[in-house]
Amino acid sequence: MNKSLLPYLILAGSLIFVAIFAEYLTPFDPYVQNLESALTPPNSVNLLGTDRYGRDVLSRVIIGSQTTLCASLLLLSVISIVGSLIGAICGYNGGKLDTILMRISDIFLAFPQMVFAVAVAGILGGGLFNAAFALAIIGWTKYARIARGLTLTIRSLPYIDAAKMAGTSSIGILFSHILPNIAGAILVTAALDIGTIIMELAGLSFLGLGAQPPTAEWGAMMNNGRSMLQTASWVILSPGFAIFITVAIFNLLGDKLRDVMDKKSVV
Amino acid sequence: MCNCGNNFLCNIFIAVELYFISRSRMDFRNLGIGVNLACVEFFTDTFCNADILAAKSQKNNFHTGGNFILFFCVLVHAVNIGRGGNFLMFEKILAVDEISIAYGGREIVSGVSFGVKHGEILVIVGESGSGKSTILKAIGGILGSNGAIMDGQIFFRDIEITNAPESIRRKLAGESIGYIFQNATASFCPIRKIGEQIFESVKAHKNWSREEFLQRAKIIMQNINLEETALEKYPFQLSGGMGQRAGILAAMILEPQILLADEPTSALDPETQSNVIDEFLKLRARYGVSIVMVTHNLEVAKYIADKILILKSGKMIEYGTAAEIFNFPQEEYTKELLNVC
């Protein structure tokens, strides 16, 4: 493995570790209300202070990482896998299926992603699943386009002809030769996309279309604290800073991954 | 198989006739002196045998005298038939009839016809862009989305494969028709090991275990001087010669009846070129495989070919036995090519 990638992998891995073991890492129960200590500024007990219901902000930020990161990564996995599969099938087979699916993707691409997601989530109603679904409906098109383009390049290479001449089935060629060869580019795109997805999910939650109270989710937490920006800024700044750090780490990881893959392809 | 009921006489006649045919290209069939003309017709029409051809390869010239080895082989096989043995003679393996191929609507090959018999080596010669590789791709069914067979027919044995559905193509590909690419190294997926890829292509046709595959692969690898470690390497770790041999292994592992070789020597140095060509002759001798090879190298064609097809701008200029083409070229273009050579 490339050593320059290691620091970013460690940072991203730490975030994922926190998200997975969040329940064991929280100093207080993130959902227990204590109105007597509401809006306590950061101190030695509540390191990031408390919110308007007296819940420990640090605990909610930690448990919120579970919701935000898991939902984002799951959503990203689904749209990248489904999108890549659709793109690879279209690129390899061509024909009517390609035309129909690519025109559908053109329709989705014609809308600004966030506006479309807001509209879909608005129709479906609030909730993390609906927000993720709204983003998935429009998110797969990007991966389908990339996978299709890469497949069109690869399918004319000699080793695809060789696989055909060895009697390998179309499905075999797709899964053994095409998808493994486009996986690198898809992975880099996905790594660069994690930040965007986190932002979009948090954005929908911020607008009240994502995670619903009392679920701790960074966007929803910012939404809850937006009226207190001047009086109790820690309530909104803590989840905001968490989003900033997470997005920055995954973007840096994506950038580095792209550099490493580019070097490999040059070699 | 001879069914004339007069095995001894028939076999003697066949042996003599095959000997004379091999020496002089004279066709005795029309003389009407055969004990059983139908039987002779059948034999002469389908004359080819791995051992006979191996002997021929050793002599490297169909017409030079002193063909004792050849005569001996013919005699042995004639006797063998008399005993009910399995004479590896053959019908036509591949027949291409008036084929026209277009790329993006532009005709690249027009009205080309030829046939290949069991154990026969046909070499398609022509300058760059003459449509040589296109013909092979059409036979292999890998013309791509832009290419199409506009006219004519291609038969593999009695199966028409001109525009055959994928299911038929897949069944024939690898198992009956092998393909060796110009750059064999590039014909392997760059991110997977050679052995893994060849085993996968085997699994598409046969229910071999990995051990059985390795056992069979080792035999071919020994025959073509390919190190066993090649199976554990990635394509970029192979040299040009090794890559070409790995390509031959991939094409031969299922022992196909015909090999389509698309300029298999053009990217190689002269020594490796000569080794690879010798490998083809050995393969033919060992497995009785027919070969259609594309090259622009007339020296290679002269060395290996039984029949030669000369192409120019997608049109068939001349088609005949290697001896006919090299000794008695009929067309100006062929003469020019030979002069350049």
CATH code for the domain in which residue B283 is found: 3.40.50.300
pLDDT exceeds 70 at position B8: no
CA count, 13 A, side-chain hemisphere, B303: 16
pLDDT on residue B223: 79
B16 falls within a domain: yes
Q: Please indicate if any CB of chain A lies within 8 Å of the CB of B140.
A: yes
Question: Which of B191, B192, B204 lies closest to A169 in CB terms?
Answer: B204
Q: Closest by alpha carbon to B284, among B295, B292, B273, B296?
A: B292
CB A80 within 8 A of CB A186: yes
Residues on chain B touching A93 (C-beta within 8 angstroms)? none
pLDDT exceeds 60 at position B39: no
Mean pLDDT of chain A: 91
Interface test with A, best of B146, B179, B187 (most A CBs within 10 A): B187
A1-49 pLDDT, tens per residue? 678 889 999 999 999 999 999 999 999 999 999 899 899 999 999 999 9
DSSP state string for A45-83: SSTT-B-TT--BHHHHHHHHHHHHHHHHHHHHHHHHHHH
Which SS3 state, helix, strand or coil, does residue B186 take?
A: helix
Q: Closest by alpha carbon to A164, among B143, B124, B149, B122?
A: B143
Do B100 and B216 lie in one domain? The reply is yes
CB A167 within 8 A of CB B174: yes
Q: How confident is the model at residue B26 (pLDDT cuts 50, 70, 90)?
A: very low
Domain boundary among B59, B82, B105: B82
Q: How confident is the model at residue B228 (pLDDT cuts 50, 70, 90)?
A: confident
* Omega of the bond leading into A214 within 30 degrees of 0 (cis): yes
If you measure CA to CA, which chain B residue comes closest to A170? B166
B87 falls within a domain: no
Domain boundary among B32, B57, B82: B82
Residues on chain B touching A170 (C-beta within 8 angstroms)? 166
Q: What is the mean pLDDT of residues B219-238?
A: 89
Q: Are strands B121-126 and B307-312 parallel, antiparallel or unpaired?
A: parallel
Domain boundary among B36, B52, B82: B82
Question: Which of B137, B175, B189 lies closest to A159 in CB terms?
Answer: B189
Distance (Å, whole) CA B293 – CA B273: 13
Do B33 and B169 lie in one domain? The reply is no
pLDDT exceeds 60 at position B295: yes
B49 falls within a domain: yes
List, in order of start, the domains of chain A with CATH numbers. Answer: 3-18+49-266 (1.10.3720.10)
Q: What is the mean pLDDT of residues B281-297?
A: 89
Which SS3 state, helix, strand or coil, does residue B262 take?
A: strand
Residue B250, Cα to own-chain centre: how many angstroms? 16
- Residues A169, B173: C-beta atoms closer than 8 Å: no
Do B181 and B320 lie in one domain? The reply is yes
| % of chain A residues with pLDDT over 70 | 98
Do B25 and B135 lie in one domain? The reply is no
A65-117 pLDDT, tens per residue? 999 999 999 999 999 999 999 999 999 998 899 999 999 999 988 888 888 88
Q: How confident is the model at residue B30 (pLDDT cuts 50, 70, 90)?
A: very low
B2 falls within a domain: no
Q: Which two tokens stand for residue A226?
A: 């937006």
Residue B11 structural domain: 7-82
B192/chain A closest Cα distance in angstroms: 9
A13/chain B closest Cα distance in angstroms: 26
Do B313 and B183 lie in one domain? The reply is yes
Do B18 and B103 lie in one domain? The reply is no
Give every CB contact of residue B165 below 8 A, 6+ residues apart in sequence.
Answer: none
Do B240 and B114 lie in one domain? The reply is yes
CA count, 13 A, side-chain hemisphere, B180: 29
pLDDT exceeds 50 at position A267: no
Do B37 and B64 lie in one domain? The reply is yes
Q: Please indicate if any CB of chain B lies within 8 Å of the CB of A33.
A: no
B266 falls within a domain: yes
Q: Please indicate if any CB of chain A lies within 8 Å of the CB of B166.
A: yes
Do B318 and B211 lie in one domain? The reply is yes
pLDDT exceeds 90 at position A54: yes
Q: What is the mean pLDDT of residues B246-269?
A: 87
Q: What is the mean pLDDT of residues A230-242?
A: 94
Residues on chain A touching B144 (C-beta within 8 angstroms)? 156
Do B71 and B187 lie in one domain? The reply is no
Interface test with A, best of B139, B170, B171, B183 (most A CBs within 10 A): B170
| % of chain B residues with pLDDT over 70 | 72
- Residues A162, B187: C-beta atoms closer than 8 Å: yes
Q: Closest by alpha carbon to B148, among B95, B94, B105?
A: B105
Distance (Å, whole) CA B111 – CA B115: 14
In angstroms, the Cα distances linking A204 to A20, A104, A134, A260, B37 are 23, 24, 10, 33, 89
Q: Closest by alpha carbon to B19, among B58, B87, B53, B68?
A: B68
pLDDT on residue B283: 82
pLDDT exceeds 60 at position B51: no
pLDDT on residue B214: 94
B200 falls within a domain: yes
Phi-psi region of B5 (alpha: psi -120 to 50; beta: other; left: phi over 0): left
Task: Please report, to the nearest 10 degrees, the dihedral formed by the alpha carbons of residues B37, B43, B44, B47 taken in order.
Answer: 180
Residues on chain A touching B169 (C-beta within 8 angstroms)? 164
B1 falls within a domain: no
pLDDT exceeds 70 at position B50: no
B69 falls within a domain: yes
Residues on chain A touching B142 (C-beta within 8 angstroms)? 161, 164-165
Do B177 and B120 lie in one domain? The reply is yes
CB B25 within 8 A of CB B323: yes
- Residues A167, B191: C-beta atoms closer than 8 Å: no
Report if pTM > 0.80: no
Q: How confident is the model at residue B92 (pLDDT cuts 50, 70, 90)?
A: confident
Select, from the ranges A157-171, B50-64, B84-98, the one with the highest average predicted confidence (pLDDT). Answer: A157-171
B167-207 pLDDT, tens per residue? 888 888 888 999 999 888 899 999 899 999 999 889 888 89
pLDDT on residue A204: 92
Do B128 and B73 lie in one domain? The reply is no
Count: domains in chain B? 2
Helical segments of B178-269, H only: 194-203, 210-223, 240-252
